[in-house]
Amino acid sequence: MNKLFSSTTLALALLLGAQSAWADLMLYPTRVELENKQRAAQVELINRGSKPETYRISIVNRRMTETGEIVEAKEVLPGEQFADKLLTYSPRQVTLQPGLGQTVRISARKPADLAVGEYRSHLQFDRVADAEGQSSLEAMAKPEEGQIAIVLQALVGASIPVILRHGDTAATATLDGLKIEPGTDKKATPMLVFAIHREGNRSVYGDLVAEFSAAGAKPMEVARVAGVAVYVPNAMRQARMPMTLPEGTLLKNGTLTLRFSTRPDAGSKLLAQAVLALP
């Protein structure tokens, strides 16, 4: 029996569809923080695509692994404080016309006995399949008699963290374990490997920049990653940064300095620094 798509074609279609759907939805900001007396915030959604899109909105709980992966949290583990019971939002579903946007409003409600600390959940935006038009099964799948039509429509979601802080919260960060992993061949990108450690009752969040200084030479930026977090209750995150080196540059006879600083809108304050000597 013939099928309209091979398994390889289906996998490729899913991948390309996911990339396209993600590119069509713009969210601002991509992170919400409600500090103490702040009880409300909003997120702007914009459809950058060429056709109307519908998104269902929900609050979900996620946890961060030691490698920085964000995964579903089906149950609450010791030390975790989720914000799902403390947040309300509106609307619950939006349909965005091409080039237009929608505001989602978020409010916090704190009970009188709320413990001091940081609470976090994620605002999830799930694309809803079209019931009509070119995305419907009837329009997309028109097999000949005796054939089977397989149609997969990629439904892509995006989520952003919503962080609620109550009372006095503080955190410190340190960096250690710096080492360079060379590429597997001459053209492969070397990686800077290290660990970020966090202490305190709030998350740390910022940008990572690595500079190489050869003896008597001006420091040269060799790696940069923006918007890196270590969420409560994680005490450590293992990290890897791809390094960009000008042709002919050798990481020898100098030092590599890695800095972790708050984002520019938070003052670019230094959170942690570590140095690796390179003979």
Q: Along the 279 residues of the chain, how does pLDDT read in single tens digits?
A: 433 333 333 333 333 333 334 568 899 999 999 998 899 999 999 999 999 999 999 999 999 999 999 999 999 999 999 999 999 999 999 999 999 999 999 999 999 999 999 999 999 999 998 655 444 444 444 555 555 545 444 556 789 999 999 999 999 999 999 999 987 666 678 899 999 999 999 999 999 999 999 877 889 999 999 999 999 999 999 999 999 988 777 888 899 999 999 999 999 999 999 999 998
Do 139 and 198 lie in one domain? The reply is no
Do 151 and 213 lie in one domain? The reply is no
* Rounded Cα gap, residues 227 and 205, in angstroms: 6
Do 149 and 16 lie in one domain? The reply is yes
Report the number of distinct structural domains present in the chain: 2
Residue 17 lies in a domain: yes
Do 154 and 100 lie in one domain? The reply is yes
Nearest in space to 106 (alpha carbons), one of 125, 89, 92, 123: 89
Contacts of residue 78, defined as CB under 8 A and 6 or more positions apart, other chains included, come to 233
pLDDT of residue 251: 85
Nearest in space to 14 (alpha carbons), one of 197, 195, 154, 211: 154
Do 76 and 119 lie in one domain? The reply is yes
SS (H, E, C) 186-204: CCCCCEEEEEEEEEECCCE
Contacts of residue 132, defined as CB under 8 A and 6 or more positions apart, other chains included, come to none
CA-based radius of gyration for the chain: 23
| Residue 148 DSSP symbol | B
Could you tell me whether strands 32-35 and 157-166 are parallel, antiparallel, or unpaired per DSSP bridges?
parallel
* Rounded Cα gap, residues 123 and 158, in angstroms: 8
Do 150 and 227 lie in one domain? The reply is no
Q: Give the angle 182-68-160 at the CA atoms, nearest 5°.
A: 130
Longest pairwise C-alpha distance within the chain: 76
User: Domain with 229 in it: what CATH number?
Assistant: 2.60.40.10
User: Which residue range is the domain that position 130 belongs to?
Assistant: 7-166
